[in-house]
Amino acid sequence: MPALILASTSPYRRELLNRLGLPFDVARPETDESPLPGEPPEALAVRLSAAKAQAVASRHPEAWVIGSDQVAEFDGRPLGKPGGREPAIAQLASMSGRSVRFRTGLCLARAGHAPLQALDTTTVRFRTLTPREIERYVDAERPFDCAGSFKSEGLGIALFDAIESQDPTALIGLPLIATARLLREAGYTLP
């Protein structure tokens, strides 16, 4: 089988891909993640996942490359990573008692082959949060590198009323059900 490369330095995606039991390497994709003017969140997630996979595949033409990107959509607009405490508090306060959609794009690319792609949508319903609950959460988990300002694989799960998804791993950043399907399409043997 050709080498497999994850086009991401995310420890969350690396941990998820390990679950499939296939050997893989990791490479930084070095892509511009800026949205195009008026680009819908789902189109942004699909485009960025493909850009990441294809950027690494161009440097490793012998390998299949997995690219994934997640865009949080709130009120029809992309919601970025907060980058710090105050923006994280503001994001969570704005989402209190409301729903956020997470669009997770996935692309499996190899030089000389048509890319294989998928898109997962997960909806998170936040419970009504008090300002003190938000501050305690942000100070405990410091989710500054996470779109939506939470880590569902950690304490962030306590912020929700419900998660609606066909693949619970998608919210963490790599939809393993779709990943396994695309890998099988590319010829990998999985259970």
- Do residues 27 and 56 lie in contact, with contact meaning Cβ atoms separated by under 8 Å? yes
In a domain, 8, yes or no: yes
Residue 164's domain spans which residues?
4-185
In a domain, 75, yes or no: yes
In a domain, 190, yes or no: no
25-73 pLDDT per residue, tens: 999 998 998 889 989 999 999 999 999 999 999 999 999 999 999 999 9
Q: How confident is the model at residue 151 (pLDDT cuts 50, 70, 90)?
A: confident
In a domain, 77, yes or no: yes
Residue partners of 168: CB distance under 8 A and separation at least 6: none
Q: How confident is the model at residue 167 (pLDDT cuts 50, 70, 90)?
A: very high
How far is residue 61 from each of residues 5, 57, 118, 191, measured CA to CA in Å?
11, 5, 21, 26
70-103 pLDDT per residue, tens: 999 999 888 888 999 999 999 999 999 999 999 9
How many domains does the structure of the chain reveal? Answer: 1
Mean pLDDT of 144-168: 91
Q: What is the model's pTM?
A: 0.89
In a domain, 191, yes or no: no
Mean per-residue pLDDT over the chain, rounded: 94
CATH classification at residue 60? 3.90.950.10
In a domain, 175, yes or no: yes
**Catalytic residue set:** 69
- Do residues 147 and 92 lie in contact, with contact meaning Cβ atoms separated by under 8 Å? no
The residue assigned the tokens 């619970």 is 168
